[in-house]
Structure 1
Amino acid sequence: MEFFKYTRAFNFMGKSKIALILSVFMVLASFVILMTKGLNYGVDFAGGTIVQVKYDRAAPIDEMRERLKSNELFDGASITKFGSVDEVVIRMKSTTSSISVDIGDVTRETLEGTGNYEIRRVDIVGPKVGNELKEKGMMSLVLAVIGILVYVAFRFEWRFAVASIIALVHDVSIALGAIALVGLDVNLDVLAALLTILGYSLNDTIIVFDRIRESVTGSKNTELSEVINESVTRTLARTTLTSLTTFFVVFMLFMFGGEIIHAFAFTLLVGVIVGTYSSIFVASPILLWFGFDIKAYHVKLAEKTKREVEKQKMREQFESGVM
């Protein structure tokens, strides 16, 4: 199935300056949001306790707050709705210091008389464990970026590697800015979504880069902007189908997946949109701005082919006993 039949190349590089301005604006806006609002770390990274309570009617949040104030264990606790009016989450930055204290039982006793309810979930993460998870999460992102840099530089060329890394940093920065803007909790689910964005965006970028390399190798055209326009146009149908199918699946998860995966789905939703945009309007133009020389690349390929032919010739002479 082809939404876009290749009859002529679209002038993507002609819009690269506008795309650059838009990208710089979104990235800078994300940095401003991150510096002003900051990320709201969830229990996984900040440590603390989460208790999920479900009522058989609308949760009496005001009455719950009054009851919780009577127990010093719940000092500083916050109560927020969890997807519906009958379900709430109690968040505390502290954890119980004694293993003999069951926070679920304590919550049940404290809320007794507020209605019919059930304790659906209790999550407890100590501050030391949360800090360790945060450090390892950041390390996983850094190692993923380094691994991608090495892989792309080995498979293509250093300019391609730098372009792909800039595009990935662009995608993750905007995703983090969106997370901070809407105030979602950053937890292990969000970290998994960010790593998924890295893989998804890189896959899109590699497809485009593969087509550019094929065009550079086989085409007699030495104008890089025209080669990129032609290559991106040829991958447009594939990019559209892949992005739309992924977007619809993630959108359904976001709408109907429930509050438990809301942050994960939202992060992926932003990542799919931004990742598709960056593979066309961020990664590809960077090759143009870095001054990738098609003629020099052809000379490099010719020299590589010549060396391989000479090695093969020497190998054949050695095997025949001529040397």
Structure 2
Amino acid sequence: MRLKLVPDETTWDFFRHARLTFGASVVAVIVSVFLFLSMGLNFGIDFRGGTTIRTDAEQAVDVGAYRDAIAPLGLGDVSITQVFDPARPDLNVTQIRIEAQEGVESVSETTVAAVRDALQAVDPSLTFQEVSSVGPKVSGELIKAAVYAVLAAMGAVLVYIWLRFEWQFSVGAVAALVHDVLITIGVFSLLQIKFDLAIIAALLTIVGYSLNDTVVVFDRLRENLRKYKKMELREVMNLSVNETLSRTVMTSFTTLLALLALYFLGGDVIRGFVFAMIMGVVIGTYSSVFVAKNIVLFLGVKRDWSKTDASKGNQYANIDA
């Protein structure tokens, strides 16, 4: 007996409350932009600058013990990561990043010495192999590069959907992606969760995930537009969403199961990244149905397709969930 998250056949009207759902999305985006402009983001070391320390030790790395040893020094945001050095596989290598202290671009030698003493109290064999600093100028360049990366991803999506479908579809897809990214940033601004390069990676992943879900429904919509040439556009859209609903719910549900396990059991290092992914899955699933489709419905699409489609549809659209 198989578990089904949704019935085999559904006839739900996803556009019954279109004004309410789309209006809520518009309000959420506006609030997110306001939160970003008024509260800003809690940038991590990657974007604020700081000092990176690379250590070697003979004993196994205990990240928790390292963090507890450094905490009394009051250095603010400290990131500790164990890394593998292929050139020296016999040693346990750690990368420690300390945020820039107020009024200075890098951590002073006195502070570095205090960190060394604290860590050597945990592991006497530990040594500092490299100490380097990242100033505000480099951090500012990283912020620009991150913004360009997200914009480039959205631009590529716009062109791809335009060529693959029609320009109305591309506008709807990109609007949904902007919706997902802005609301995620707004939540990070509201909760003041640390925002670093890992979160940028999460945002780019969200763009890909949301696009995948949107394209699946768009593909079924295009097939149904050819099949039901006299049916109203709204009804064809409802039919397409209902036909792919099982696949959408199953994919989102199983992805959330894995992300929730990582969030609660993965530790503090990846919690921000996983939280952004959870937000992206939930908001992306919502936007693919209630944002992208509303925009396409508003813009309308041509019904006189130049060629017929011999395919029978997406073979994964109606998988039982």
Q: TM-score range by the shorter chain?
A: 0.7 to 0.9
Which amino acid is the alignment partner of residue 34 of structure 1? F
Contact 1:31 1:177 in 2 (8 A): yes
Contact 1:164 1:283 in 2 (8 A): yes
Instruction: From the two aligned structures, give the one with the greater helix fraction.
Output: 1
Q: 1:105 to 1:211 in 2, by over 3 A?
A: same
1:92 aligns with 2:100: yes
Contact 1:43 1:124 in 2 (8 A): no
After superposition, residues 1-323 of structure 1 pair within 5 angstroms as 2-49=4-51, 54-55=64-65, 64-65=73-74, 77-78=75-76, 91-93=99-101, 94-96=104-106, 101=109, 104-109=112-117, 116-117=121-122, 124-292=133-301, 296-298=302-304, 301-302=305-306
Secondary structure at the aligned position of 2:303 is classed as helix
Residue equivalent to 1:73: none
Q: Provide the C-alpha distance between the structure 2 equivalents of 1:255 and 1:24, rounded to a whole number of angstroms.
A: 31
TM superposition score normalised by structure 2: 0.76
Q: Provide the C-alpha distance between the structure 2 equivalents of 1:170 and 1:79, rounded to a whole number of angstroms.
A: 30
Q: 1:166 to 1:57 in 2, by over 3 A?
A: closer
- Tell me by how many angstroms 1:225 deviates: 0.8
Contact 1:30 1:177 in 2 (8 A): yes
Q: Provide the C-alpha distance between the structure 1 equivalents of 2:293 and 2:255, rounded to a whole number of angstroms.
A: 22
| Structure 1 unaligned residues grouped into runs of 5+ | 66-76, 83-87, 306-323
Q: Provide the C-alpha distance between the structure 1 equivalents of 2:39 and 2:52, rounded to a whole number of angstroms.
A: 22
- Tell me by how many angstroms 1:47 deviates: 1.0
TM superposition score normalised by structure 1: 0.75
- Further displaced range: 212-221 or 153-162: 212-221
- Tell me by how many angstroms 1:232 deviates: 0.1
| Residue deviations 1:32-58 (CA, integer Å, cap 9, x gap) | 211111012211122113679854997
Q: Provide the C-alpha distance between the structure 2 equivalents of 1:29 and 1:247, rounded to a whole number of angstroms.
A: 25
Q: Provide the C-alpha distance between the structure 2 equivalents of 1:289 and 1:273, rounded to a whole number of angstroms.
A: 24
- Tell me by how many angstroms 1:103 deviates: 5.9
- Tell me by how many angstroms 1:206 deviates: 0.2
RMSD over aligned Cα atoms: 3.2
- Tell me by how many angstroms 1:81 deviates: 11
Contact 2:168 2:299 in 1 (8 A): yes
Secondary structure at the aligned position of 1:49 is classed as strand
Secondary structure at the aligned position of 2:16 is classed as helix
Larger Rg: 1
Percent of aligned pairs with the same residue? Answer: 38
Secondary structure at the aligned position of 2:99 is classed as strand
Q: Provide the C-alpha distance between the structure 2 equivalents of 1:117 and 1:95, rounded to a whole number of angstroms.
A: 28
Secondary structure at the aligned position of 1:259 is classed as coil
- Further displaced range: 197-206 or 7-16: 7-16
Contact 1:50 1:124 in 2 (8 A): yes
Contact 1:55 1:116 in 2 (8 A): no
Q: Provide the C-alpha distance between the structure 2 equivalents of 1:120 and 1:244, rounded to a whole number of angstroms.
A: 46
| Residue deviations 1:135-180 (CA, integer Å, cap 9, x gap) | 1111111111111000000000000000001000000000001111
Contact 2:50 2:98 in 1 (8 A): no
Residue correspondences, number: 277
